Structure 1
Amino acid sequence: MRVVIFVLVAVCIVAVAVGKRFCSSQNDCLKGECCRNNQLRGKRSVYGVCEPLGNAGSNCYLSLFQVSEGVYSSCPCVRGLECKGSGLVEVPYGEMGTCVRPSCKSAADCGPDECCVNPNRPRGKKKRSTGYVCQSMKNIGDGCLVSYGSGVPSSVGFMCPCKAGLTCTPSGYSDMPLGPMGTCTSGLVEKLSPR
C-alpha cells in the first residue's frame, strides 16, 4: 500500500513540475488538447493528463484506443491533419504513424479556403507530380506568387494563391523559375495627397 501511495505522489509531483493537468474526460482539457492515459497494463486508472493534439510531424496511432469514457491512449492529430501509418504496430495500441496533411489530387479534395499544392519545389522545367497536399489559401500579409492570382486555382501549383478578394501585390523580387513574388493585400491602395 505504501508503494502505491508513493507512486501516486511521485506521479503528481512530476505532473505538476512539467505543468500537466490531470483529467477524467475531454471536458477537463483546453481547446487543442485531449485527455490521455496510456497505462493499459495492470490496473487501469480512470484519470489522464491533458496533452496537446498532434501537429505536423507528431507521432500518432491510426486508431484511437479509448481507455475509459473520454480518456484516450494517445491524442489524435489537430484538425486538418491525418495520421499516416508507418506499417509498424505497437501492441495493444495498433499501427503507429505520423500526423501529416491529407493528400489530394485537386482543390476539390481540400476544405474551404484550401488548395491542392505540390510541396516539392520546381527545378527548371521538370515537374514532380508526387505527394500533393492541402494547404491554406494565403491571407493578408502572406507571401505569394503574382502569376497565381487569387481564389481557388483550377490546377495544382507550388503554393496556394491569395484568398478570393485579395490581390498579390508585386514586391519587386522574382524567383526563378516561379516568377514575380509579392504580398497578399486587400487590393485597396490609399492614395496619399499632399496637403
Structure 2
Amino acid sequence: MSSRTFSPSDDLPGMVGGPPTLSMPADWTLSTAWQRAQRESDDGGAVNDAERIVSLSDGDDFHRVLWALKGRTLVAECDCAGHKYHGGWCAHVASLWWQWVRGSIVVAHLDTGREYPAPPSWLRLDDDPTAYEQLTPAELDALLSCDLGSFGVREFARYTDRAAGTIGNLLADAREKTEGCR
C-alpha cells in the first residue's frame, strides 16, 4: 500500500496545519448546527484526501472543510464563522460526521493512507494529532489496527499481505516509540 501525501490547496493556504481537535458537544442533539446537519442534504463532495466541499441544501454557499484522520484523531476545520462560534461543530462539520457514521462517506487517514467508511474503534476526538508523528506509516497502521483496533496480528498480516513476523516487528517498534503515549 502506498503512503498518501497531501498538499494544501492553493486557494486556502495554511488550511491544514494545526486545527483544534474536536470533542463531542454536550448539547449536540439540541443545537441548530446539529439539527441542520441531520435535516439538510449535502450537495458537495471530496476535493482531495483531506478536504471536502460541503453545500447544505438550505444554503446558497459552499464551504471547504478539512476532514481527515491524523494519528488517532479526526482533524476538522471549516472556513465558516459558525465553526469558531460552535467550538468546531458548525453545521458543515456536523453534516460530515453525520454522513460518516451513516456510511455515506469515506474518511482517509493522512498518515497511513487507509480509508475508513465508519469511525474506527480506536478514534479519540480530543487526541493530539501529532502524538504519533514519530512512527512510520506502517508502524502506525499496525498499532492502530492491532493494538487499538480489532485485528489480530495474523489476521492483519493476511489483510495487508505481509508476514506475521513483519507485523510483530512493526508493533514492537511502535510500542517502544509510544511507551506511555497511549
TM-score normalised by structure 1 residue count:
0.25
TM-score normalised by structure 2 residue count:
0.27
Higher relative contact order (CA 8 A, sep 6+): 2
Choose between structure 1 and 2: higher strand proportion: 1
